[in-house]
Amino acid sequence: MKQEANLRLILLGLPGSGKGTQADSLKKKYNIPHISTGNLLREAISKNTPLGKQAESYVQSGELVPDSLIINLVKEEMTRNHGARGFILDGFPRNLAQAEKLDIMLKELNLELSLAIEIKLNEEILIKRLTGRRTCSKCGALYNIYFNPPQVSDICDVCQGKLSRREDDNVQVVNNRIKVYWSNISPVIDYYQKNGILHIIDGNQEAPGVFADISQIIERL
């Protein structure tokens, strides 16, 4: 696939499976927008917008935000990002109703999905990835206390800023997010399998290996 071609890609996988990291790399390589519903919701919550106020309690407890709110958010983002050029969706769809709504949205724009990629990995690794995740509140650098710890506990190596943990990365909420994921995602995976666009990737590898596997699938399109 040429770099300028229209790539409309969905990344599926448990929270912590590395969708955000992969989306970031894909965005740079293929020059298409990364639409992360989780990031958009966290931004709305931190800015205290009407959407943020409605979504806050769901995000904090790891429950799904109501479909109507999410679908409007994705619609707005696609329009703003000129969806026709392509996109990487990360964290959406999370259930069958969202997958069906997405198809309707795309049909109206005369578009089709290119690929749905499911990143699968061992849940023990995943729990450590999430509960160990820390971000520098000053420069945004990412760490993990198990796999990539800072030299000094809770302090950024780059700028000495204080490291913080996402509120929903605590053990209790992480377990709930995993439970919520599995109870909603199976029909979505079946749906894309039936459409013939689903590919499964081994997410237990390091990020560059996962990226190489995804790129290979894209190049074959």
Sites for ligand AMP among residues 88-147 (CB under 6 A)? 91-92, 94, 98
**In the complex, minimum distance from the CB of residue 43 to ligand AMP, in angstroms, rounded to a whole number:** 11
Binding mask 58-97 for ligand AMP (x = CB under 6 A): xx--xxxx----x--------------------xx-x---
Which residue in the block uniquely carries the two structure tokens 């780059």? 158
Beta bridge partner(s), residue 142: 135
Interface with ligand AMP: number of residues (CB under 6 A):
17
Tell me which amino acid residue 145 is.
I
Q: Cβ 160 to ligand AMP, closest distance in Å? A: 27
Would you name the residues annotated as active-site residues?
19, 94, 133, 166, 177
Task: Report which of 177, 23, 11, 27 is spatially closest to residue 92, judged by C-alpha positions.
Answer: 11
Let me know how long the chain is. 221
11, containing H or E segment: strand 7-12
Query: Cβ of 85: how many Cβ atoms within 10 Å?
Result: 15
Q: For ligand AMP, which is the closer residue by CB, 48 or 160? A: 48
Q: Is 189 in the site for ligand AMP (CB under 6 A)?
A: no
Site string for ligand AMP, 17-56 (x = CB under 6 A): --------------------xx--x---------------
15 lies in the site for ligand AMP, by CB under 6 A: yes
Degrees to nearest 5, angle at CA 188 with 74 and 14: 80
Residue window 149-168: x/- pattern of binding to ligand AMP, with contact defined by CB under 6 A: -------------------x
- The beta-strand segments (E) located in 105-173 are 115-120, 133-136, 142-144, 163-164
Query: What are φ and ψ of residue 75, in 5° steps?
Result: -60, -50
* List of residues contacting ligand AMP (CB under 6 A): 15, 37-38, 41, 58-59, 62-65, 70, 91-92, 94, 98, 168, 177
